[in-house]
Chains A and B, each alone.
Chain A
Amino acid sequence: MSTPKPQIEILPRGVQVLLAVGAVALAAFPLVPSESAGFYQQMVTQMMILAIFAMSLDLLQGVTGLVSLGHAAYFGLAGYALAFLTPADVPISLWWSLPLAALGSGLAALIIGFFVVRTHGIYFIMVTMAFAQMVFFLFFDNRALGGSDGLYVNFRPHAELFGWNGINLDSNIGFYYLTLVLMLLVYAFLRRLLFSPFGRVLAGIRVNEHRMRAVGYSTFGYRLTAFTLAGALAGVAGYLWGAQTGYVNPELMGFHMSAHAIMMVILGGTGNFAGAIAGAFAFEYVMHLFKDFTKHWQLLMGSFIVLVVVFAPRGLMGLAERVLGKRKIP
């Protein structure tokens, strides 16, 4: 690192305003009448779910400097958890099943992380991918776990709490708002974490782990905690995915899904979580456009990513910062 980059986590005023506008727009979106409202609500819900997934990866990739090529394992596991927890006759409660599914993903990340966070650089990438492939084939080859066809989620969870049932998750709009609230909560939590003592240590590990150890930090515990937390948050996204689509299959844990998350984070810009959200939305939207346009959309998608990486090396957020004014360091 010869040329120092400014601190990537601080968002300039202009970008903050843009984000607030975006949040308001998302809150207002379902109120816009349209003939194909249902379709677009589902599409934006999916974008928000992927935004949560991308943010969870950004905690590793952008903040701690750990590029995981197996993050989808924790996404998929929570989806499967929902499928297994939901019985054939009644829906289950969101209030315990979501935390339980996220906890399950977190536990898997803790166990796998115990082995993988000892490695660095390219080895970390390879080992995270290897473990994710193991999880993938465990489900793919096991009839009892759904096999290559996957499983149905018999019912969407319900949000009834002490007799109150204000949110109907079976409706597109109800599920949309649940996802929006969760996305904003995850964002708020991660932004807070970024400037906490824990978050500062993760950033220190990204920039110079050797020096972190020399001043007395036992970095293994920090790396493992970050890995576990990222796994649990990926689980929140995977649970929502399973609940929305009503269906889970091994592809959710596959290599493509992991790479998808990395590309969303790179496209949006790493290390500040806002970029991960922007990346998820932009990626899905552009993919949607290209898919409408041609069945060879992957060619266009690839070119698009290359162009962004060449002309906006710090992603869409970096571009927004350049346009909306210089960052200020407090």
Chain B
Amino acid sequence: MSDLLLSAQHLTKRFGGLAAVDGVSVELFRHRIHAVIGPNGAGKSTLANLLSGDLPPTSGTIQLLGVEVAGKSPERISSLGLGRSYQKTNIFLPFTVWDNVRLASQARERHAPWNPLHWLSSAGQMRAVNQRCERALELAGLSARASAVAGTTSHGEQRQLEIAMTLATEPSVLLLDEPLAGMGQAESQSMVDLLKRLKADHAILLVEHDMDAVFSLADQLTVMVNGQVIASGTPADVRADPNVQAAYLGEEHA
């Protein structure tokens, strides 16, 4: 099997006259982190929404593990092996941390809702579900907080929970939308360490603003401005690209 897990070609998303994403192609390989950077409004989150199925693309193709998924529903894309975390924390606030992750993990059981067996069995006693849940919590460093109500945890913990829920569905491709947003120094460092570990089994698309983290993590870097890719390559190549320096890294790196 090829290590190319996701290949998106010429993706375009138009909102009326505005092309939020304009002819963007990305390829994600196992063991590699592909970072997407760009100023606010560059279309990074829209790109993530196209890949996860939250938005249908206007045109273009997306192959996920060999299956064409452009325009498919988020639940279909998720069950094919893409896990996504959100930039704006998107969790179940009234539930405990454990129940948040357990619910994500349960999705992989593919129960039929109309099967009465699943109306009467106990949700807490599904061994495979609990195992996935424990593993995801441990990876995300949240095991100690399992019984806390999600809405009462710190911002950093909620970001970790985002990741844990994504991991609990055991995806092959990870789509992480600004996992470091609003994190403190220590929290950031442990998240960076986690992403390095996750690289071992996953293909990762990382949308991130934190440049230190991006340059320490990325194997490949794509720079977007106004919906278009202006440069793509290794971090060193991109750093040297004059277009990028002008458009984005600007005053810092020029």
* A contact residues vs B (CB 8 Å cutoff): 1, 3-8, 192-193, 195-201, 203-204, 207-208, 210-219, 221-222, 224-225, 229, 329-330
Q: Which residues of A contact B147 (CB under 8 A)?
A: 329-330
Q: Which residues of A contact B169 (CB under 8 A)?
A: 215-216
Q: A40 to B193: give the CA distance in the assembly, Å.
A: 69
Asked if residues A207 and B74 are in contact (CB atoms below 8 Å), the reply is no
Q: What are the interface flags for B79-121 relative to A under an 8 Å C-beta threshold, 1 for contact and 0 otherwise?
A: 1000110100011111110010011101111011110001111
Secondary structure at chain A's binding surface: helix, strand, loop or mixed?
helix
Asked if residues A200 and B119 are in contact (CB atoms below 8 Å), the reply is no
* B contact residues vs A (CB 8 Å cutoff): 52, 54, 73-76, 78-79, 83-84, 86, 90-96, 99, 102-104, 106-109, 111-114, 118-124, 126, 147, 149-152, 165-166, 168-169
Asked if residues A213 and B74 are in contact (CB atoms below 8 Å), the reply is yes
Asked if residues B118 and A204 are in contact (CB atoms below 8 Å), the reply is no
Q: Which residues of A contact B151 (CB under 8 A)?
A: 1, 3-4
| 9 closest A-B pairs by CB | A4-B151, A216-B78, A216-B107, A4-B93, A225-B113, A215-B104, A216-B79, A221-B113, A222-B113
Q: Which residues of B contact A3 (CB under 8 A)?
A: 151
Give the residue of B91, B99, B123, B150 whose beta carbon is less than 8 angstroms from that of A197. B123
Q: Which residues of A contact B152 (CB under 8 A)?
A: 4
| Chain A, residue nearest B73 (CB) | A213
Asked if residues A4 and B52 are in contact (CB atoms below 8 Å), the reply is no
Asked if residues B75 and A217 are in contact (CB atoms below 8 Å), the reply is yes
Give the residue of B93, B108, B118 whose beta carbon is less than 8 angstroms from that of A216. B108
Give the residue of B102, B112, B126, B149 whose beta carbon is less than 8 angstroms from that of A329. B149
Q: Which residues of A contact B165 (CB under 8 A)?
A: 211, 215
Q: A225 to B93: give the CA distance in the assembly, Å.
A: 25
A28 to chain B, nearest CB (A): 30
Q: A207 to B119: give the CA distance in the assembly, Å.
A: 19
B123 to chain A, nearest CB (A): 5
Q: A211 to B120: give the CA distance in the assembly, Å.
A: 24
Asked if residues A215 and B78 are in contact (CB atoms below 8 Å), the reply is yes
Q: Report the number of A-B residue pairs with Cβ-Cβ less than 8 Å.
A: 117
**A-B CB contact pairs (8 Å), 30 listed:** A1-B151, A3-B151, A4-B150, A4-B151, A5-B94, A8-B94, A192-B119, A196-B118, A196-B121, A196-B122, A197-B106, A197-B111, A198-B118, A199-B119, A200-B103, A204-B95, A204-B103, A207-B92, A207-B94, A207-B95, A212-B107, A214-B54, A214-B74, A214-B75, A214-B86, A215-B104, A218-B73, A221-B113, A222-B113, A224-B113
Q: A192 to B79: give the CA distance in the assembly, Å.
A: 27
Q: A4 to B96: give the CA distance in the assembly, Å.
A: 11
Q: A215 to B52: give the CA distance in the assembly, Å.
A: 10
B245 to chain A, nearest CB (A): 36
B64 to chain A, nearest CB (A): 13
Q: Which residues of B contact A211 (CB under 8 A)?
A: 86, 90-92, 165
Asked if residues B108 and A197 are in contact (CB atoms below 8 Å), the reply is no
B5 to chain A, nearest CB (A): 17
Supposing A196-B121, A329-B149 touch, asked if A7 and B112 sit within 8 A by C-beta, the answer is no
Supposing A195-B122, A214-B54 touch, asked if A221 and B114 sit within 8 A by C-beta, the answer is yes
| Chain A, residue nearest B126 (CB) | A197
Supposing A214-B52, A329-B147 touch, asked if A197 and B75 sit within 8 A by C-beta, the answer is no
Q: A210 to B83: give the CA distance in the assembly, Å.
A: 14
Q: Which residues of B contact A217 (CB under 8 A)?
A: 75, 107
Q: A207 to B94: give the CA distance in the assembly, Å.
A: 8
Give the residue of B95, B123, B166 whose beta carbon is less than 8 angstroms from that of A195. B123
Asked if residues A218 and B75 are in contact (CB atoms below 8 Å), the reply is yes
Q: Which residues of A contact B166 (CB under 8 A)?
A: 215
| Chain A, residue nearest B83 (CB) | A215
Asked if residues A201 and B54 are in contact (CB atoms below 8 Å), the reply is no
Instruction: Other than A193-B119, A211-B165, A225-B114, give 9 A-B pairs with Cβ distance below 8 A.
Output: A200-B99, A210-B90, A214-B84, A216-B78, A216-B107, A216-B169, A217-B75, A225-B113, A329-B149
